[in-house]
């Protein structure tokens, strides 16, 4: 009888532990659910879509709303339009530093890199002749049309300007910069991915675009010299020779952007509607699984990189950054 009571007691305790374990697991699953709003750079559209699909295999109850814009436009949605947002991912980490911190966000993690390239299509005029030595000469030809994005809306836009200015420095001819900047102004669009439709319709011959976007869309692209493509950290001092003025936080204010290697940044704004899911998604993006997708799609990892906001980064995410 005593043995039977002992067995029953052990069985009851076992059930208690099993049920407690299930409650904890179910509690976590219920916590990571609901809608998740992500404002992100247009150049992150393809990798974030794939990352979302993988994330949903682990967290099927999270409905991720991906909204692509130029990175500065993403920031304006938060600062000017006061739109609720769980995550903001920028093609230039300094957009977060300059426009969101400290009022709208507290921290910023640098997570990926990229480079500028010249993208074209099969029917682009002079496409059989263009190369890494003569690209700027061909773009300056009268019958050639090229597009770029708006420097005030999109980092790819001001990086295109910096590339043109660095071309003048690298080839030791400032007229290159002046001629390129004055040409085809009616083919400037809000973000770099808006230009793809013009290219596909063969309305333009070339566009200044991130190499990763060209790879992701299986487009033809030309690799330009490292001295102008903003790729190499070793060339930071040379990149600094180029600057461009863009709009600041308030009307009439301006920010001077100095040439620098491309680095993407990500943050969770203050008071996100779905903080638990935001933390889980950012962690997934920055994990080996997420960054493997980024790298496969042409955007090499920058993790871990030094962060000026390291102290404010949540403890769970600090392994992805450095002091």
* Placement of tokens 């059989």 in the chain: 128
pLDDT at position 21 over 50? no
Q: Check residue 14 and give its pLDDT.
A: 42
Q: How far apart are CA 7 and CA 1, in angstroms?
A: 10
The alpha carbon of residue 78 and the mean position of all alpha carbons in its chain are separated, in whole angstroms, by 16
pLDDT band at 203 (very low <50, low <70, confident <90, very high): very high
Q: How far apart are CA 207 and CA 187, in angstroms?
A: 9
Q: Check residue 229 and give its pLDDT.
A: 97
Cα 200–201–205 angle (5° rounding)? 75
Q: Check residue 69 and give its pLDDT.
A: 94
Provide the β-strand partners of residue 245.
256
pLDDT band at 249 (very low <50, low <70, confident <90, very high): confident
pLDDT band at 22 (very low <50, low <70, confident <90, very high): very low
Cα 49–289–100 angle (5° rounding)? 60
Q: What is the pLDDT of residues 82-98, one digit of tens each?
A: 999 999 999 999 999 99
List the domains of the chain with CATH numbers: 32-113+263-322 (3.40.190.10), 116-258 (3.40.190.10)
Q: Check residue 115 and give its pLDDT.
A: 97
Residue 133: exposed, middle, or buried by beta-carbon count in 10 A (0-12, 13-18, 19+)?
exposed
The DSSP element (H or E) to which 26 belongs, if any, is helix 2-31
Instruction: Tell me how far CA of residue 175 lies from CA of 117, 139, 182, 194, in angstroms.
Output: 21, 13, 11, 28
The DSSP element (H or E) to which 96 belongs, if any, is none
pLDDT band at 193 (very low <50, low <70, confident <90, very high): confident
Global pTM value: 0.84
Q: End-to-end CA distance of the chain: give it in Å, rounded.
A: 64
Sheet hosting strand 87-90, strand order edge to edge: 62-69, 34-41, 87-90, 263-267, 109-113
Mean pLDDT confidence for 50-68: 98
Q: Check residue 19 and give its pLDDT.
A: 35
């Amino acid at each position: 009888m005593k043995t039977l009571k002992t067995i029953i007691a052990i069985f009851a305790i076992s059930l208690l532990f099993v049920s407690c374990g299930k409650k904890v697991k179910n509690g976590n699953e219920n916590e990571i659910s609901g809608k998740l709003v992500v404002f992100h750079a247009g150049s992150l559209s393809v990798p974030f879509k794939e990352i979302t699909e993988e994330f949903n295999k682990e967290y099927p109850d999270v409905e991720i709303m991906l909204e692509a814009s130029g990175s500065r436009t993403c920031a304006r949605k938060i600062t000017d339009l006061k739109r609720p947002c769980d995550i903001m991912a920028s093609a230039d980490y300094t957009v977060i530093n300059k426009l969101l911190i400290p009022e709208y966000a507290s921290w910023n993690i640098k997570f990926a890199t990229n480079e500028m390239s010249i993208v074209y299509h099969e029917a682009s005029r002079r496409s059989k002749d263009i190369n890494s030595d003569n690209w700027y000469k061909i773009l300056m030809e009268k019958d050639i049309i090229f597009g770029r994005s708006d420097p005030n809306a999109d980092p790819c836009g001001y990086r295109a300007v910096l590339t043109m200015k660095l071309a003048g420095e690298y080839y030791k001819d400032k007229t290159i910069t002046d001629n390129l900047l004055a040409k085809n102004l009616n083919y400037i669009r809000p973000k770099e991915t808006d230009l793809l439709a013009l290219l596909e319709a063969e309305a333009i011959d070339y566009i200044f675009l991130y190499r990763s976007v060209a790879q992701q869309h299986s487009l033809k692209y030309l690799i330009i010299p490292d001295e102008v493509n903003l790729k190499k950290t070793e060339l930071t001092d040379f990149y600094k020779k180029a600057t461009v003025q863009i709009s600041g936080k308030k009307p009439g204010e301006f920010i001077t952007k100095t040439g620098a290697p491309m680095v993407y940044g990500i943050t969770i704004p203050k008071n996100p509607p779905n903080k638990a899911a935001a933390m889980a998604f950012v962690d997934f993006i920055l994990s080996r699984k997420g960054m493997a997708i980024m790298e496969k799609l042409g955007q090499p990892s920058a993790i871990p990189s030094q962060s000026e906001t390291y102290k404010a980064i949540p403890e769970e995410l600090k392994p992805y950054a450095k002091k």
